[in-house]
Amino acid sequence: MGLLDNFRAKAIAPKTSDVDAALPLPTIDSLIIPFQGAITATREEAMSIPAVARARNIICSAIAALPLEVWDKATGAEVDAPKSITLPDRRVNAAATYTWLAEDLLFYGYAYLRINELYADTGRVRDGERINPTRVEIITNRLSTEIEYYVVDGFPCPTSGVGSLVVFYGSDEGLLNRAGKTIRAGAELERAAAMYAKEPAPTMVLKSNGSALPSDRIAKLLESWGVARRNRATAFLNADVSLETVGFDPEKLQLNQARSYIATELARAIGIPAYFVDAETGSSMTYANANLARQTLVDFSLRPLMTSLEQRLSMPDFLPSSQICKFSLDDYLRGSAYERAQVYEILNRIGVMTAEEIRQEEDMVK
């Protein structure tokens, strides 16, 4: 090898492993928008809409609050979960990591966890860190049918081992792509509402009835007019200046109705019942239907993201093939004390549960 060979660009050699980054794409459609860098909406635009921010917090925080359990497939017994599942990033609490992973799946359709450390004996993941999808570039083959490698912050990642990416695949291309136009419309409505909150009257024109005013006088007049309107609703103009209005006020623009409509549409796009984000007027969640509402939230909003996380954490680079990872919904779907007492009474009467087991289930054992 000559001296000049040290300065020539070297091609990245393909690597293979049981579970690594070099995976076929689920569909070409799932890649084409992020690959071209044409995300139709940004996270900032989405989170500026109250309905989206509330839906994100409900869905992602609920998932992160659920305990993750590991079960033996053969015996059905629960086993101790490794640290890579109970605390995937040792620098922060697990709820924070899973909240952001769930958000990435919801918004982008992908979530990334970079491997920082492996167990020496098994080679499985021991510690990692969540990587923002906007920092990741996907490099595919010529036909865009298979991912060759990933690039994070401009640096290629290895396809296995420390520094490689654990990829959580979502069920679609992500909310920012799928409902980007609706999100941007909602962000524009929020900006319009903020503008009208700052300038509550329609767009106004102060017209001089006399000679033309210099620019500094005009600037002072507009500034004093704005300060006065924020402090007092009544205005006074002398004969030298007249007021004209152009455009429409928020009521004529139906701004509130438009924001309510967009909030309902975004609730549909996210897959969350509209009453969870208060997008429907006149709807409410009472104590009587709270348990049913939680079950509805699990079935239609949480389950797709939970399944993506569960199945990826059950793969061989996290757990042995004889074990499986699942979220526990027992506490989340737990009924009221009266409902639980009725169930316990029936189970005790037919001999399924003893009184001691009921006390343990209710944490009544000292």
**Residues contacting residue 190 through CB under 8 Å, at least 6 positions apart:** 48, 49, 50, 259
> How many residues does this entry show for the chain?
366
For 292-336, write each residue's pLDDT tens digit: 778 888 888 999 999 999 999 999 999 999 999 999 988 777 766
The pLDDT value recorded for residue 354 is 87
Assign 32 a pLDDT band (cuts: 50, 70, 90): very low
Assign 366 a pLDDT band (cuts: 50, 70, 90): low
The letter for the amino acid at 243 is L
Of the ranges 125-129, 183-187, 203-207, 284-288, which one carries the lowest mean pLDDT score?
A: 284-288
The pLDDT value recorded for residue 7 is 40
Comparing 250 with 46, which gets the higher pLDDT? 46
Q: Is the pLDDT of residue 29 over 70?
A: no
Assign 118 a pLDDT band (cuts: 50, 70, 90): very high
Packed helices 180-198 and 255-270: angle between N→C axes, nearest 10 degrees: 150
Query: What mean pLDDT do residues 97-114 have?
Result: 95
For 183-237, write each residue's pLDDT tens digit: 999 998 888 777 777 666 556 777 777 777 788 888 887 888 777 777 776 777 7
For 161-190, write each residue's pLDDT tens digit: 999 999 999 988 899 998 999 999 999 888
Judged on CB neighbours under 10 Å (0-12, 13-18, 19+), 212 is: exposed
The pLDDT value recorded for residue 251 is 55
Pairing of strands 241-246, 323-327: unpaired
Residue spans of alpha helices (H) in 29-155: 29-35, 43-47, 50-65, 83-86, 94-108
The pLDDT value recorded for residue 10 is 43
User: Is domain 9-197+249-334 classified as CATH 1.20.1270.210?
Assistant: yes
Say if CB 107 and CB 174 are below 8 A apart.
yes
CA–CA separation, 16 vs 118, rounded Å? 17
Closest CA to 266 of 122, 90, 106, 52: 52
The pLDDT value recorded for residue 2 is 47
CA–CA separation, 185 vs 111, rounded Å? 26
Q: Is the pLDDT of residue 58 over 90?
A: yes
Residue with tokens 């004093």: 224
Q: What is the mean pLDDT of the chain?
A: 80
pTM for the model stands at: 0.72
